[in-house]
Amino acid sequence: MEAQYTSISVSFASKQELDEIKKEIGAKTYDKAVQYLIKSRKKGFPSTAGCDPDLPAFTRDTRGDSHRVSY
């Protein structure tokens, strides 16, 4: 099946952003840059878990406390 193409309008600012994305990912076409953005969106936002490795690991305080709800 042969690829079909269409034209879309984007603002000059959006084109500049797409130019930066093309350069960043090494894409030769705007279509590749747009496909990259679509795939990135489908993956969702990157997790922020582990973004501060200097924090100590979380541990639940299990000492007796009359005001603490038991789990």
Global pTM value: 0.56
Distance CA 32, CA 48 (A): 27
* Residues with Cβ within 8 Å of residue 22, at least 6 apart in sequence: 28, 29, 30, 32, 33
- Would you give per-residue pLDDT tens digits along the chain (71 residues)? 788 989 999 999 999 999 999 999 999 999 999 999 999 888 766 666 667 777 777 777 777 666 766 65
